[in-house]
Structure 1
């Protein structure tokens, strides 16, 4: 919940921080795998399904898969770290005037609604003008056709 709300409000800052943080952790885990750290015993300890753990234990996947699995184990903690670092970074950026403070949400939404209302009103007025012009043209054409038809047709009175 916090992660999504922070992402929605401060995505421009949070996404790069999260990517940098995840990359650093992946690099750390990759280096640890190169030094001989094996994740498989930990996976047994955590209680993952044995079929999955045995698949990883007998695989020749290399250091990248080991680092990837390690990264997924700590992903929950990485999200919390991203949230905390984002709030600290936002404060720093506001303090040093690198980022403007966003307007309050209610005012922002009201401004957007007014802009949208004005645009729709203009479009409706344009459409109304266009439609009334076409209706007038069609009335004139219809009147002409009606007159032509009256001129061509002779009406006879029935003898009584």
Structure 2
């Protein structure tokens, strides 16, 4: 029980970037498209704001953004793309949070529609592993018994074939001996008539 509480505390202490890395590791195939779409929307929104003449510096100052980040933006020589990129970088924690939320929603919908199968619990994975191990062990045992039985059948067949060959050889030798005796007897009788 104490371990579960410690685990929950550790999960709460994770930063947005750590959660992002974990989500990327587990669901990169969902997170990447969501991240690209949200990043494009953020950058496009910032570009539109900069180009439409909104006083971005006043907005950032009202949000109490660090002066070190605001000072480069005060130079009017920066182009709209540079201003948009600076705002894009400033909004990184918020962007990642929204990406995580969008990814979580996308994963839930994909699971609901059957495109992603839910990850089984640790206990279920352990049970599946044990079942597969037992099935494989049983299969290996049956295969080994089958091989031994096949080997015994082959040995028996070879023994029977050998006995059959020996028997045929003996029959052929007896037949030859009888034929020789008959031929010797016929030659003698043939010679006697001469």
**TM-score calculated relative to the size of structure 2:** 0.47
TM-score, normalising length: structure 1: 0.56
User: Where does residue 64 of structure 1 map in the other structure?
Assistant: 81
How far apart are residue 42 of structure 1 and its match? 4.2
- Say which of 1, 13, 27 aligns to 2:44: 27
Q: Which runs of 5+ in 1 are unaligned?
A: 112-160
User: What is the CA RMSD across the aligned residues, in angstroms?
Assistant: 2.9
Confirm or deny: 8 A CA contact 1:3 1:79 kept in the other structure: yes
Deviation at 1:89, TM superposition (A): 0.7
Structure 2 unmatched runs, 5+ = 1-13, 130-194
Task: For 2:87 and 2:75, locate their aligned partners in 1 and report how far apart those are by CA, in whole Å.
Answer: 17
Largest Rg, 1 or 2: 2
Deviation at 1:53, TM superposition (A): 4.0
Q: Can you list the C-alpha shifts for 1:98-139, whole angstroms capped at 9, x where unaligned?
A: 22233446738x96xxxxxxxxxxxxxxxxxxxxxxxxxxxx
Hey, what does 2:119 align to over in structure 1? 102
1:11 maps to: 28
The alpha-carbon deviation at position 4 of structure 1 amounts to 2.4
Which structure is richer in relative contact order (CA contacts within 8 A, separation 6 or more)?
Answer: 1
**CA distance in 2: counterparts of 1:23 and 1:95, whole angstroms:** 27
Matches within 5 A, 1:81-96: 81-96=98-113
Structure holding more helix per residue? 2
How many residue pairs get matched?
111
